[in-house]
Amino acid sequence: MPAEEEVWLDDDAGPLIRPYSVTAGRTRPTVDLDLVSLVIATTRTPPGMDPEHRRMLGLCRTPTSVAEVSAHMRLPVAVTKVLLADLVDCDAVITHAPYGATHDPELLERLLDGLQGV
């Protein structure tokens, strides 16, 4: 099978590319993000972005939580945070932690239920 026709997505397993490949081996984001941090795209679009970065920018046209970005991208949260931090570093997105959101047990429970697919 020619390289351009190779399948890198399995319907049952999901992406076949290892997370460390997506982050170039990086495991820690350069900015502090939690699951309920809201991410909002700016008007700046850096040249030469990876497909994952471009897709994240599209998802963040409206305020979107880190957890939602992770779910839509079908990537682990740690990988999502590294990629979002890249976008923060180049001013392509801004982040905002909702006031008091991390201290609201009901909100955290709803978020956990959403992540578990309840």
For the beta carbon of residue 95, count every other beta carbon within 10 angstroms: 19
- The segments of the chain whose pLDDT lies below 70 read 1-20, 98-104, 117-118
Q: What is the pLDDT of residue 19?
A: 66
CA nearest 65: which of 93, 91, 46, 89? 93
**What mean pLDDT value characterizes the chain?**
80
Q: Is 17 in a helix, a strand, or coil?
A: coil
Q: What is the pLDDT of residue 22?
A: 72
Q: What is the pLDDT of residue 93?
A: 96
